[in-house]
């Protein structure tokens, strides 16, 4: 027996497709067979499986478990919950050799997919392509695995609360926070978590609904934070947090309704962490503000700019022993007193803890940050066959001009006006650009440089692609 996946679904960081078009039960079953085969051949036996709140998730979960069992793997089913709850299961339960979460993350309701961990490390890139090869050749192990159901949500909530150990409860008692779950998989955990927290908590859209009736669960887009802003303003609350569809990315606003972007959250976490772990390496992706890298250095830490992508960041953390990393997209990774995976619920708890330990409100911490003017992440459609070639052409031209370029992931160019970035997306046929300056004039000049580079490669900054 063999199986061929649709050409578009095996991505750099995960597997993702459109239900009924590029992804279905047969694919889930084949993923189970291939992943299970990898586990068995590595000497493993047990895999944890979880799923998010999408309408299609239970059907895919059933087929995935069938495939894993048919490869000879025993499955621990942890049920519906956020992706970090599955990561927690894989990291904390006895004799677990891998984990798979069925999730469409922040994609539209008709998408779904799979995120995987293998023997405690991220499973991405060549690993994912290998699943396709195993399926296409039918090179699968066979067996009769078992499956059991294990409810770990309460244990997970208990572990999240440890992030507040040593914090004065009287200080927590004074806090007022809004939590927007966007009808995603984090809702039930947030209900249990906030029931255990001191202070006043306003909960939005905790009911899991895979149709996302209130707003799309992607906290990196300002329009999806309007309900959170209103709740904070109406209740005169201290701050608000929001989660994406599977709870591994965080968004936040302060008490004045200002967004705290991923790199700005990292500035708060870094200040708190470096007081406890002086001299630590703090990692952020190439899209992060210069203000973050400068602030980490100023606080005595070692700033490290790395490639965008949660799997790539997690791997770099293990390599460097970094206790903290983050991305502009809202993925935050704590290896300090935690497991090193991206967990937006734990990040929310650590925001509360950081504010308490630093003795300043989240609004004060946000207000103290330098006022930089920057673009959001700009995405331009480009033919898949051209996207990496264009970046190579840009780098060659910049080298000839003797420009100040960081080539960690695409080209990030420093100028007296600030910096600009052009990189190829690993998951879509788009180029991604971003620029940051100290003034609007400076930003305009930086955007002019991006336009000039695109034009030199026969492209223009036309209509922007979505996610």
* Cα 233 to Cα 282: distance, rounded to the nearest angstrom: 33
Tokens 């569809």 identify what position? 245
Of 50, 122, 52, nearest in space to 309 by CA = 122
* Cα 282 to Cα 246: distance, rounded to the nearest angstrom: 25
| The token pair that represents 366 in the structure block | 């946000």
φ and ψ at 447, to 5 degrees? -65, -35
Which residues have CB under 8 Å from 114's CB, separation 6+? 14, 15, 16, 28, 31, 64, 100, 101, 102, 103
Of 57, 105, 322, 329, the active-site residue reads: 105
| The token pair that represents 53 in the structure block | 């709140």
* Cα 178 to Cα 241: distance, rounded to the nearest angstrom: 6
Q: Active-site residue 25, yes or no?
A: no
| The token pair that represents 115 in the structure block | 């995120």
Radius of gyration of the chain (CA): 22
Apex 14 CA angle, 341 and 58, nearest 5? 90
Which residues have CB under 8 Å from 344's CB, separation 6+? 82, 84, 186, 241, 243, 244, 247, 248, 249, 250, 330, 332
- The residues with which 202 forms a beta bridge, in sequence order, are 178
Task: Indicate which residues carry an active-site annotation.
Answer: 105
């Amino acid at each position: 027996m063999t199986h061929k996946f649709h050409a578009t679904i095996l991505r750099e960081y995960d597997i993702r497709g459109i239900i009924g078009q590029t992804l279905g039960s047969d694919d889930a079953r084949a993923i189970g067979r291939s992943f299970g085969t990898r586990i068995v051949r590595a000497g493993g036996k047990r895999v944890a499986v979880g799923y998010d709140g999408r309408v299609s998730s239970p059907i895919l979960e059933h087929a995935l478990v069938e495939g894993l069992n048919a490869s000879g793997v025993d499955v621990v089913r942890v049920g519906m919950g956020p992706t970090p709850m599955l990561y927690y299961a894989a990291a904390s339960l006895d004799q677990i050799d891998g984990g798979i979460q069925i999730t469409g993350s922040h994609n539209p309701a008709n998408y779904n997919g799979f995120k995987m961990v293998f023997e405690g490390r991220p499973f991405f890139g060549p690993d994912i392509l290998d699943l396709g090869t195993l399926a296409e050749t039918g090179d699968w192990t066979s067996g009769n695995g078992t499956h059991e159901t294990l409810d770990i949500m309460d244990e997970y909530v208990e572990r999240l609360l440890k992030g507040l150990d040593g914090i004065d409860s009287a200080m927590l008692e004074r806090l007022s926070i809004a939590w927007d779950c966007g009808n995603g998989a984090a809702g039930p955990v947030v209900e249990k978590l906030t029931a255990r927290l001191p202070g006043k908590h306003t909960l939005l859209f905790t009911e899991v609904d895979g149709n996302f009736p209130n707003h799309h669960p992607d906290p990196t887009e300002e329009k999806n934070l309007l309900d959170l802003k209103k709740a904070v303003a109406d209740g005169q609350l201290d701050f608000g947090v929001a989660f994406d569809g599977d709870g591994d990315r965080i968004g936040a606003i302060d008490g004045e309704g200002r967004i705290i972007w991923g790199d700005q959250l990292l500035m708060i976490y870094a200040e708190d962490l470096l007081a406890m772990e002086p001299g630590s390496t703090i990692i952020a992706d190439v899209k992060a503000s210069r203000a973050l890298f400068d602030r980490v250095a100023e606080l005595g830490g070692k700033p490290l700019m790395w490639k965008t992508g949660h799997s790539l960041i997690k791997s770099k953390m293990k390599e460097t022993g970094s206790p903290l990393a983050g991305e502009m997209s809202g993925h935050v990774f704590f290896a300090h007193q935690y497991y090193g995976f991206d967990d937006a619920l734990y990040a929310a708890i650590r925001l509360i803890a950081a504010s308490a330990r630093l003795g300043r409100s989240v609004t004060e911490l946000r207000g103290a940050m330098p006022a930089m003017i920057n673009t959001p992440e700009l995405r331009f459609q480009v033919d898949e066959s051209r996207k990496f070639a264009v970046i190579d052409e840009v780098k060659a031209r910049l080298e000839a001009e003797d420009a100040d370029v960081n080539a960690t992931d695409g080209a990030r160019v420093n100028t007296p006006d600030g910096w600009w970035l052009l990189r190829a997306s690993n998951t879509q046929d788009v180029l991604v650009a971003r620029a940051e300056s100290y003034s609007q004039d400076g930003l305009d000049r930086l955007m002019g440089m991006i336009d000039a580079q695109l034009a030199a490669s026969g492209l223009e900054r036309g209509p922007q692609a979505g996610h």
